[in-house]
Amino acid sequence: RKEVEQDPGPFNVPEGATVAFNCTYSNSASQSFFWYRQDCRKEPKLLMSVYSSGNEDGRFTAQLNRASQYISLLIRDSKLSDSATYLCVVNGRSSASKIIFGSGTRLSIRP
Amino acid sequence: DAGITQSPRYKITETGRQVTLMCHQTWSHSYMFWYRQDLGHGLRLIYYSAAADITDKGEVPDGYVVSRSKTENFPLTLESATRSQTSVYFCASSESVGGASYEQYFGPGTRLTVT
């Protein structure tokens, strides 16, 4: 089993829709969680950190469920510009060697 | 502009040749990382460095060598390139690796093809 798993998609949704995807992790001692966005053939960029209490940034909401060991990303009122691959990142401890990237979930927003 | 740069952006080399990928950052970040990205595997950590002259292995270090004599530079060398090392290589830097607020900044990537 991979340490961090994501549904690869693609998720194909119409503009304006709400879409959510999860990322599961196997290390219960994981401490830090993040969502990165990666556009085609570009470098990943931080979208948002995921806090224990959940956090929201505009149309994006991230949640952490420690009991079930997953993080989620919800995108409301999706835009064409949201089309990208979303990578979840889990840091097992405060050590660079335990930073694990998921393989990514591809999202495509159609007009 | 300040940032993190990689060179070359594209490289084609032959099996058995030595190749060095360069990474330079202008933020004076303590940590620097090398990842490779392949279909189906996502980003995998090759090596990282916590400071100048301090480096450590990541998940897939075999066949690679790194050095960090200066804070701003973190070159990655493929000692004898193999076809399995054909990949997109990303360099990244960050101020720290702990806490919920740290962020990794990535370079634009180097597309390496080994024939």
**What percent of chain B clears pLDDT 90, i.e. is strictly above it?**
83
Q: What is the pLDDT of residues B69-110, one digit of tens each?
A: 999 999 999 999 999 999 999 999 998 776 655 789 999 999
What is the token pair recorded at B51? 């400071």
- At residue B101, the pLDDT reads 55
End-to-end CA separation in angstroms for chain A: 37
Q: Which residues of B touch A101 (CB under 8 A)?
A: 35, 42-44
Tokens at residue B27, please? 């933020």
A32, A96, A102 member nearest B48 (Cβ): A96
Tell me the pLDDT band of A96, cut-offs 50, 70 and 90.
Answer: low
Q: Hey, is the C-beta of A43 within 8 angstroms of any chain B C-beta?
A: yes
For the cut 90, the answer to whether the pLDDT of residue A29 exceeds it is: no
d(Cα A60, Cα A27) in Å, to the nearest integer?
A: 25
Q: Residue A30: pLDDT band by 50, 70, 90 thresholds?
A: confident
Interface of B with A in 31-70 (CB under 8 A): 31, 33, 35, 40-45, 48, 50, 56-59
CB contact, 8 Å: A49 with chain B? yes
- Contact A91/B at CB under 8 A: yes
Mapped onto helix, strand or coil, the DSSP state of residue A85 is strand
Percentage helix, strand, coil for chain B under 3-state DSSP, each rounded to 5: 5, 50, 45
Closest CA to A89 of A25, A28, A38, A29: A25
Tens-digit pLDDT profile for residues A46-75: 999 898 888 999 999 999 999 999 999 999
For the record, the structure tokens of B42 come out as: 């996502």
